[in-house]
Structure 1
Amino acid sequence: MKRFLLPLMGLVALLLLAAPASAANPNCTFTVDGMNFGKGDPARDRNLDMTVTISADCSQDGLDIFSLLMPSIKMCVAISPEPAGSDTGWRHLSGSTGDTLRYNVYTAPDRKTVLKANEKVAVPVVFQWELLTLGRRKGAGTMQIAGRMPPRQSVPDGLYTANVPMTISYFENPFEADKDCNNPSERRAQKTFKAAFLYVSSCQLSITSDIDFGKVLDLDQALQAQGALRANCDKELPYTIRMGWGNNTESGTANGRFMSNGKEKVKYELFQDSQRMLVWGDGPNDLLKGKKGTGIPISIPIYARVPKQATPPPGTYTDNVVVTLEYN
């Protein structure tokens, strides 16, 4: 047994002595996606989130056994500060009018930690290595940072952008638990990604209550009912609402609206006011106008009346009316 023990100890000692020799730092090139928040309305009531993928292609020469056994590479990112005068705690997208939209950059997609200017932060990266020849390898990996635009921001229409300079530092990292991004042998790459958002004024319209005159035995007296719309337009955005004349109008709009049951009809009308004096139509003189958005949903009533008229045969009488919201 002793004859085999001594050579084994010698081999172990030889490996331990060889371990401190490290391979050359990798050479890497990077591509960085843009932080495109898309287009829409920044006055919405929810955060708008995006991620930025940083792709790395690396090669490394001079590998020894130690590097092959512990092949990790650490990558750290830092972004440049914004121009002086920006409000603290936010980055900004700028529009042609000089208005800005707030956003922030985070160290990871969980968006728990803001990536502060000039602060080097380690970013998790997963590498797939391929051994080319003895002592040489290549690999590719990706890492992600994230962006978030907060809600309820009011700005004019237009494209809002920012160019964000970034420094990516990287070095061989055999000890993955080490979070220190300062390494005397690190290499650096300078990249710039673009953050952008296209703001397009918008409105949403929905029907919250249809008009139902109920059940009646005759039309010897007028009937009244009420429906409702819900409009949500950007703050200060002018809009109008047109009310179509339905499917059963006779001779254009002069004779009003009709509900039908086969060939039988019941005359009715829609109004903008509770006194039922101002007919609601789709022409320049009878559409709902003079409205401006508030940035929050508002309810708009529809007043309806069936005038006294001859009672038609029993049945269910209906009509469909197209409602159009216009804004610019």
Structure 2
Amino acid sequence: MKPKVILSALTGVLLSAQVMPVANAAIYSNGTATATFNVTLTLQANCTITATPLSFGTNGVLATALNQQTTLAVTCTNTTPYNVGLDGGTVAGSTVTSRLLAGTATGNTGTTVGFQLYQDAGRTTVWGTTQGTNTVAGTGTGSAQSLTVYGQVPPQATPKPDLYQTTVTATVYF
């Protein structure tokens, strides 16, 4: 027996309609046809780099070396060779071999504090931007690789109290 649905119109007239059960929906049995398509992705050699700040903290007289470290995270496509370089910073006159922090207070912007960035914990190999000479080389794995930057403020004549800073750019060459 097929179910019936009775509908009520605004005029009060009852209507009757046959409803086809879902089980009797169209089923096709004349055969099938298929198609295939390619799915592609081209990966190019690529790298990204991130850095965390380096702080030498709050100090008084610069009579002894201040040593601190920070990290860089380099992510390169698997098997991609790379080099990471660190520039001299944004202070006028600062170079890779003679890095400077500059005072930030009004009237103290020409006052500097010397510091250096190294590739090793012994602080013997300066980290620069010349590939094959003073950069750090590696090969990408497809995951982030951590590189440690070792910083030092050597003993020196202590300038007047202030916040001394610079911005160093880390570049990954690939």
- Where on the TM-score scale, by shorter chain, does this alignment land: which range? 0.7 to 0.9
Paired position in structure 1 for 2:29: 183
Q: How many residues align?
A: 151
The structure-2 alpha-carbon separation of the partners of 1:181 and 1:305, relative to structure 1 and needing over 3 Å to count, comes to farther
Q: Which aligned pairs between 1:12-91 and structure 2 lie closer than 5 A?
A: none
* Bigger relative contact order, structure 1 or 2 (CA pairs below 8 A, ≥6 apart): 2
Point out where structure 2 has 5 or more consecutive residues left out of the alignment: 1-17, 104-108
Deviation at 1:250, TM superposition (A): 1.9
Paired position in structure 2 for 1:220: 63
The structure-2 alpha-carbon separation of the partners of 1:181 and 1:201, relative to structure 1 and needing over 3 Å to count, comes to farther
The answer to whether the 8 A contact 2:96-2:127 is kept is: no
Paired position in structure 1 for 2:79: 236
The structure-2 alpha-carbon separation of the partners of 1:272 and 1:191, relative to structure 1 and needing over 3 Å to count, comes to same
Deviation at 1:233, TM superposition (A): 2.1
Residue-by-residue CA offset, 1:209-252 (whole Å, 9 max, x unaligned):
31111111111121111111112223322111011110115275
The answer to whether the 8 A contact 1:274-1:303 is kept is: yes
Amino acid at match of 1:203: C
Q: Give the structure with the larger helix fraction.
A: 1
Amino acid at match of 1:260: A
Distance in structure 1 (CA, Å) of the matches to 2:115 and 2:69: 12
Paired position in structure 1 for 2:101: 259
Percent identity between matched residues is 27
Distance in structure 1 (CA, Å) of the matches to 2:141 and 2:81: 10
The answer to whether the 8 A contact 2:87-2:96 is kept is: no
Distance in structure 1 (CA, Å) of the matches to 2:54 and 2:70: 5
Paired position in structure 1 for 2:14: none
Partner SS for 2:113: strand
Distance in structure 2 (CA, Å) of the matches to 1:319 and 1:215: 16
Point out where structure 1 has 5 or more consecutive residues left out of the alignment: 1-68, 71-173
How high is the TM-score relative to the length of structure 2? 0.75
How high is the TM-score relative to the length of structure 1? 0.42
Please provide the CA RMSD for this pair.
2.6
The answer to whether the 8 A contact 1:249-1:257 is kept is: no
The answer to whether the 8 A contact 1:276-1:303 is kept is: yes
Paired position in structure 2 for 1:5: none
Distance in structure 2 (CA, Å) of the matches to 1:298 and 1:193: 37
Q: Which aligned pairs between 1:172-321 and structure 2 lie closer than 5 A?
A: 176-177=22-23, 182-184=28-30, 191-207=35-51, 209-250=52-93, 252-254=95-97, 256-261=98-103, 262-284=109-131, 285-289=133-137, 291-321=138-168
Distance in structure 2 (CA, Å) of the matches to 1:276 and 1:248: 22
